[in-house]
């Protein structure tokens, strides 16, 4: 069954500064939607508003036409990968897979080097390895939508292509919203890309639109 997530009418202000206005974004199961924008344009804020962890007086977030306001309370609807580490480091890797109801054998088909960590505590892994574990936990979990904030920036380049394979595989089961400063990967895997500029979202069609909006330079 196809599901739709629609976001609009968002206004976000900090003191007298308006960060977001006239925002529209749509994602559906089977598609990957990218969000691009310069530092400070509100990409993470937008994700937190969708997730319900950042409150604002003006917003409309609808899943299959039904308004939702506290998605973080219902992981079956939306899961969110924040920029910061969220998995407790004193837990063992196998506990993470149990808590997220994931198959470890499927994970090591993508990342065979993790097989030796099955019974190890998360704190014994490197920062990049922990990030891979977190990315996979959110991506492969059972949910209608997931949002990924900077999944590529904290992992080694050798793992980026594998993560992109997981994303492409998982979009068969859910809708995915993703933002990252490594925009080439966003362009590569996303079906739709929105650029945030001056607080507004602009749906782009190709690289020419990204150039026109000043996000990338013309080569």
**pLDDT tens track for 190-204:** 999 999 999 999 999
Sign of CA dihedral 45, 47, 52, 57: positive
CA angle 35, 37, 42 (to 5 degrees): 85
Rounded to whole angstroms, how far apart are CA atoms 36 and 193? Answer: 7
pLDDT at 22: 81
Interval 90-112: pLDDT, tens: 999 999 999 999 999 999 999 99
Interval 165-177: pLDDT, tens: 999 999 999 999 9
Q: Average pLDDT over the chain, rounded to whole?
A: 94
What's the distance, CA 90 to chain centroid? Answer: 25
Rounded to whole angstroms, how far apart are CA atoms 7 and 49? Answer: 10
Fold of the 4-212 domain: Rossmann fold (3.40.50)
Rounded to whole angstroms, how far apart are CA atoms 151 and 153? Answer: 6
Instruction: Indicate the domain borders of the chain.
Output: 4-212
Strand order in the sheet with 175-179: 78-81, 145-149, 175-179, 32-36, 192-197, 200-204
For the cut 80, the answer to whether the pLDDT of residue 27 exceeds it is yes
Question: With a threshold of 0.85, does the pTM exceed it?
Answer: yes
pLDDT at 113: 95
Indicate the helix (H) or strand (E) that contains 45: helix 43-51
Residues paired with residue 20 on neighbouring β-strands, in sequence order: 12
Q: How many residues does the chain have?
A: 219
Residues with Cβ within 8 Å of 169's Cβ and at least 6 positions away in sequence, in order, are none
Q: Are the beta carbons of 128 and 111 closer than 8 angstroms?
A: no
Rounded to whole angstroms, how far apart are CA atoms 171 and 24? Answer: 21
DSSP state at residue 135: H
């Amino acid at each position: 069954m196809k599901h739709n997530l629609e976001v609009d009418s968002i206004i976000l202000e900090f003191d007298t500064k308006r960060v977001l206005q006239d925002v529209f974004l749509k994602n559906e199961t089977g598609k990957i939607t990218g969000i691009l924008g310069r530092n400070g344009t509100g990409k993470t804020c937008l994700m937190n508003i969708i997730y319900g962890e950042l409150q604002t007086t003006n917003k409309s977030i609808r899943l299959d036409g039904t308004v939702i306001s506290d998605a973080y309370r219902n992981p079956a609807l939306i899961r969110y990968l924040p920029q910061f580490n969220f998995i407790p480091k004193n837990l063992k890797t196998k506990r993470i897979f149990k808590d997220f109801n994931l198959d470890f054998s499927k994970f090591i088909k993508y990342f065979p080097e993790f097989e030796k960590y099955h019974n190890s505590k998360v704190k014994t892994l490197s920062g990049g390895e922990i990030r891979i574990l977190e990315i996979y936990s959110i991506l492969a979990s059972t949910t209608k939508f997931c949002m990924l904030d900077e999944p590529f920036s904290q992992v080694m380049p050798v793992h980026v292509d594998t993560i992109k394979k997981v994303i492409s595989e998982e979009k068969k089961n859910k809708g995915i919203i993703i933002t990252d400063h490594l925009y080439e990967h966003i362009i590569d895997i996303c079906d739709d890309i929105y650029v945030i500029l001056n607080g507004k979202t602009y749906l782009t069609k190709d690289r020419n639109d990204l150039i026109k909006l000043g996000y990338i330079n013309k080569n």
